Amino acid sequence: QTEKSFVSLDHAHTHNKIPPCATCPRHGRCVPKVQCPAHLRPGSYNPLCELDGAVGVCCFTGLGHAAESDHISRSSASISAEDIKSSHSLSEKKLAHCMSKANKLLEHSAYTVLNTTHPSYGHHLSVATLDKRAATLGRGGLLNLFAAQELKARQAISDEDLELGLTGHTDSPYCPPQPTCTAPSRYRSVGGECNNPLHSTWGAVHTGYERLLPPDYSDGTWAMRTAMSGLPLPSARTVSSTLLLDGTFPSRTHNLMFMQFGQFIAHDTSAGVVFTNNQDEAISCCFNNGEDILSPELQHFACAPITVAPDDQFFGTFGHKCINFVRTQIAPADDCTVGYAKQMNGATHYPDLSHLYGSSQQKLSSLRAADALLKTFNDYGRELPPLTKRKECMTVKEGAACFESGDHHGNQIISLTVLHTIFTREHNRIARALYKINPFWDEDRVFWETRRILQAVYQHIIYNEWLPSLLGPQILKTFGLYPSAGYSSAYDPHVNPALSAEFSTAAMRFGHSVVDGRVMIPSPKMGGVYETISIPEVMFQPSRMRLRHFLDRLLIGLTTQPMQTVDPFVTEGLTRYMFHGGNPYGVDLASVNIQRGRDHGVRSYNHYRQLIGLPPYLEFQHFAPSAAQRLAQVYERPEDIDLWVGGLLEEPVDGGLVGPTFANIIADQFNRLKRGDRYFYEHGPDVNPGGFTPSQLEEIKKVTLSRLICDNNDGIELTSQPPNAFLRADLPGNEPVPCDSPRILSMDLNLFREN
């Protein structure tokens, strides 16, 4: 009874027609609820307010979890020097113990190292980094975490302080090196440092994901989430196989290019870095390729294998009881404080094409060619990304091609490799043009100017084309995501742009639901379909890129073929056969997503409903009847439901593709990636050291993804494009037009002539 009345009360609160106050008292700011976690805290004072046609809350704490008064009264609470000293020495001991155990495991490599022919190796390739710096920082992150655990055990930090992040005066044993930021640079740094002059590491590579709500670790610091009852949660595989079935529901409006560009953005902004063993090899947590869970003595401390039930309809038939899963490394806090675990992002958080240019100077140098160009592989006149010598592909076939990229997973699926190709070619196209326009510029100048322009073009495509067709008009307005007429005045140096754990482990993974298990390769000249590819055949196997007609045909296919709708249906290409290579089974991405959310301590779905101002679902019956029964079959209580699962079950918001919970989490993220990025393309020279002139900005804003496709295809079969590259080509008004049509504008690079 009490629970029910809480729901209806909350409902009334959300749907108040006229918010009680239009302006906030006491210098509070009116923000969307998702950006003010304090409004959920008992006793917190956050009156409602009007926000561009939506209801927001007056916020006094910003994105911090703690209420205003907590900060003032408790952040200065000091912990005794004695406690800090012993926490440091104990954490050193604990780390040494972990490392020595990990070293011992090397002696049992037949069990503890993942076989490179196993499907999970493809998963490993997707989430490991080759950057040596990550390992050093990851070790520091662990050391600091162990210190926090020790302080908690001694009750020197209370559970609540830990949860609210009130450890500001607690020195950590490891302090990450700080970048030195000299005079503001006209160009974004490669690793994302020095964007914000006051917080030089905000948004930089190898820093932690932030969170919208305090974590739900079962020990308060790092242990995987458990059920409300304290029992283990249902196996991620059981949730996946019961709730996330295969099914084909093509979108009536959006095409596969929308899906593919989404993954492209995801890889730019998010690349969780998993632990590797002490020789940088892939860790195996399963026995004999999945026959069973590895015995605890042989498990690496970062193992969190997914249990497969014996009656599993798919993996059970192979006698599997285990899906490999390795946890994400922890990033040390840049202000040298201890606290709960924040996972490490191996990409720069900004959408800055770090997956094209790399997130380190070293990587960038390896990708650069002479004359300000990016290296390419000239395949009989067709420019492809450079071939890689690293073992990055899942095939050993003679003549197989595999390509380099700024990150390490440009080959994950061939349609992604296609976008890497288009952006590599666009870089080289712009660089060649700038050389002609500014013949006195040196090579470096041309390179960095080209990168600056291409990053702007790409951000414009995200904010002008991709987001609007994802989120619907109301959310775009509320979160200020529409491009402006001229410069934007949104920059706010107090906004941390870092990705949220909720965005990267759940909301942005809506994309896994829109993947189609089959990609049609049309045959434009003959009409009809030339080939239908089952997607696992082209994961880490991009050799078809070398076929003369392939790129053009796939580009046409991606704009023609509908994507799948956002719903609880995920193709078997991802849930059964992903990365199968030569094996009859692959990895289940849906269970990996669920396990990753638990690994990152993401709270359960209901917490985020409340965060965005919706009533929690306290009974399974609150969900659609088809889902309710299945949910009740696997979860003990509705309060246990994983965020990614709950989000996929929602009906889309008006004019958008995802439900309100994902829409708010995604909108918050892109709002912070705009307001918290000094180099955001629309920010003028008053704040942006790389700001464009008004007329240059006007040119940049003419560019669409269709323009990029028109300018960088092979010209063999592709001569026209739908004006909106993310909508189906058979949608009235979006029929393909010739590439020189005024409906697909070009930017005039002459505006970039230096006088």
540: its two tokens: 């880490």
From 118, 254, 267, 355, the catalytic residue: 267
Beta carbons of 129 and 339 less than 8 angstroms apart: no
Which of 171, 268, 383, 642 is the binder for Ca ion (CB under 5 A)?
Answer: 268
Helix (H) or strand (E) holding 255: strand 250-255
> In this complex, which beta carbon is closest to Ca ion, that of residue 195 or of residue 724?
195
Q: Considering CB distances under 5 to 8 angstroms, the limit depending on partner class, which of ligand HEM, Ca ion, none binds residue 589?
A: ligand HEM
Backbone angles phi, psi at 727, to 5 degrees: -110, 155
**Angstrom distance (rounded) from CA 487 to CA 555:** 33
**Angstrom distance (rounded) from CA 355 to CA 357:** 6
Beta bridge partners of 533: 519
Closest distance of CB 565 from ligand HEM, Å: 13
Q: Considering CB distances under 5 to 8 angstroms, the limit depending on partner class, which of Ca ion, ligand HEM, none binds residue 272?
A: ligand HEM
For this structure, is 622 an active site residue? Answer: no
Helix (H) or strand (E) holding 530: strand 529-534
> In this complex, which beta carbon is closest to ligand HEM, that of residue 195 or of residue 541?
541
42 class by beta-carbon count within 10 Å (0-12 exposed, 13-18 middle, 19+ buried):
exposed
Q: Considering CB distances under 5 to 8 angstroms, the limit depending on partner class, which of Ca ion, ligand HEM, none binds residue 352?
A: Ca ion
Closest distance of CB 587 from ligand HEM, Å: 7
**Angstrom distance (rounded) from CA 212 to CA 217:** 15
Closest distance of CB 467 from Ca ion, Å: 16
Q: Considering CB distances under 5 to 8 angstroms, the limit depending on partner class, which of ligand HEM, Ca ion, none binds residue 259?
A: ligand HEM
> In this complex, which beta carbon is closest to ligand HEM, that of residue 167 or of residue 240?
240
Q: If you search the block for the tokens 């189906």, which residue do you land on? A: 728
> In this complex, which beta carbon is closest to ligand HEM, that of residue 456 or of residue 574?
574
- Interface segment toward Ca ion; rule CB under 5 A; list 100-108, 341-349, 526-534, 697-705: 341-349
- Interface segment toward Ca ion; rule CB under 5 A; list 118-126, 267-275, 446-454, 547-555: 267-275
> In this complex, which beta carbon is closest to ligand HEM, that of residue 152 or of residue 509?
509
Q: Considering CB distances under 5 to 8 angstroms, the limit depending on partner class, which of Ca ion, ligand HEM, none binds residue 268?
A: Ca ion
Q: How many helices (H) and strands (E) does the chain have?
A: 26, 15
Closest distance of CB 477 from Ca ion, Å: 26
549 is in an annotated binding site: no
Closest distance of CB 417 from Ca ion, Å: 18
**Beta sheet of 48-51, edge-to-edge order:** 29-31, 54-59, 48-51
Beta carbons of 423 and 454 less than 8 angstroms apart: yes
Closest distance of CB 690 from Ca ion, Å: 15
> In this complex, which beta carbon is closest to ligand HEM, that of residue 551 or of residue 589?
589
Q: Considering CB distances under 5 to 8 angstroms, the limit depending on partner class, which of ligand HEM, Ca ion, none binds residue 551?
A: none
Which amino acid is it at 712?
N
Output the CA torsion 186→188→193→196 (10° steps). Answer: 60
419: its two tokens: 């976008």
Distance of CA 428 to the CA centre of its chain: 27
Residues that bind ligand HEM (CB under 6 A): 123, 126-127, 259, 262-263, 266, 270-272, 412-413, 504, 508-509, 511-512, 515, 539, 578, 589, 592, 596
Count of residues that interact with Ca ion, criterion CB under 5 A: 5
- Interface segment toward Ca ion; rule CB under 5 A; list 12-20, 216-224, 265-273, 610-618: 265-273
- Interface segment toward Ca ion; rule CB under 5 A; list 105-113, 268-276, 525-533, 682-690: 268-276
Closest distance of CB 573 from ligand HEM, Å: 8
Beta carbons of 483 and 463 less than 8 angstroms apart: yes
Beta carbons of 410 and 416 less than 8 angstroms apart: yes
**Angstrom distance (rounded) from CA 99 to CA 91:** 12
> In this complex, which beta carbon is closest to Ca ion, that of residue 329 or of residue 359?
359
Per this entry, what is the length of the chain? 755
**Angstrom distance (rounded) from CA 704 to CA 711:** 11
348 binds Ca ion (CB under 5 A): yes
Q: Which of residues 349-368 bind Ca ion (CB under 5 A)?
A: 352, 354
291: its two tokens: 């026959």
Contacts with Ca ion by CB under 5 A lie at 268, 347-348, 352, 354
- Give the residue ranges of the annotated binding site for heme b: 512
Query: Which residues are known catalytic residues?
Result: 267
Summarize the annotated binding site as residue ranges. Answer: 512
